[in-house]
A and B are shown apart, each in its own frame.
Chain A
Amino acid sequence: MTILSKYKISGHSMEPAIKDKDYVLVSGLTYLFRKPQVGDVVLFRIKKETYIKRIERINGEKFFVLGDNSNDSLDSRDFGWIPKNKILGKVILKI
């Protein structure tokens, strides 16, 4: 993960906060200084793809993530809890 990355969003699972084709800025540094928190929107790698979701629950070093638009979302309800080392960074800005 780089210090700052720009991602284009593909899909609708984070609507209304982040829409399809929106751009977001992701910080790879934030979680070096503090732990991920409930409500953070994070990017993570699973099955060789990068996904964006919001942290809904925390259990130690594992995170349960959900899409805001939960009717149309592949998330922890499907693939389970995400370990911290899969998290690439925190979304800090919608461009």
Chain B
Amino acid sequence: MKLKQLLFFLKERVAYAHCDIPCGIYDPHASQVAAHTILRMTQLISEIKRENETKAEHDIARTTFVKEEHSDLLEEELDTLAHDYFKQEQYEQFPNLKELFEKTLKAGAKARQNIDIEAAKETLENTMQIAEIFFKSKGVESIRVPSLFPTGGEIVVQK
């Protein structure tokens, strides 16, 4: 049997040798919404009453699921900003940016692993600071406006 025939039986996987489509479309809005959602889910879990155990377990499962989903989304959005949008020159221009990403991911992991309002708030605050740097790097002014979400707090938008 020839080598090619032998290798035919190996499971086939895909490796990418291409670039991302350089669409240039980046926005820090989705990451902020994800961070607000993590905070909201944490608040909701904290408020669940234990009067009906079955309902409480059901509600905790659903809320935790959404918290997990948005933690994934936040990580993905931050990853895109950190690696696709921000380049070396911006990391030089904003020397605290790299540390800010690391702090956000750490706080996000803490918020994901625990029912920790403070960690969720820290995640949101850091995410907003990243949004502010994003707008600065675009050369436009940003402003913090009321989020109008049940979490209260603010969201960073272009002025």
Contacts and interface: CB of A to CB of B under 8 A. Distances in A.
Interface of A: 4-14, 18, 20, 23-25, 43, 46-47, 49-53, 67, 72-74, 78-80, 95
Nearest to B19: A74
Contact of A24 (B3, B15, B16, B20): B15
B7 A95 contact: yes
A74 B15 contact: no
Interface of B: 3-4, 7, 10-20, 79, 83-84, 87
Given A8-B15, A51-B15, A73-B18, 19 more contacts: A4-B10, A6-B7, A6-B10, A8-B13, A9-B15, A10-B15, A13-B19, A18-B17, A20-B17, A23-B12, A25-B7, A43-B15, A47-B83, A50-B14, A51-B17, A52-B15, A52-B16, A95-B3, A95-B7
Chain B contact residues: over half helix, strand or loop, or mixed?
mixed
A73 B14 CA distance: 16
Contact of B19 (A6, A8, A20, A72): A72
Contact of A67 (B14, B17, B79): B17
A13 B13 CA distance: 18
Contacts of B10: 4-6, 25
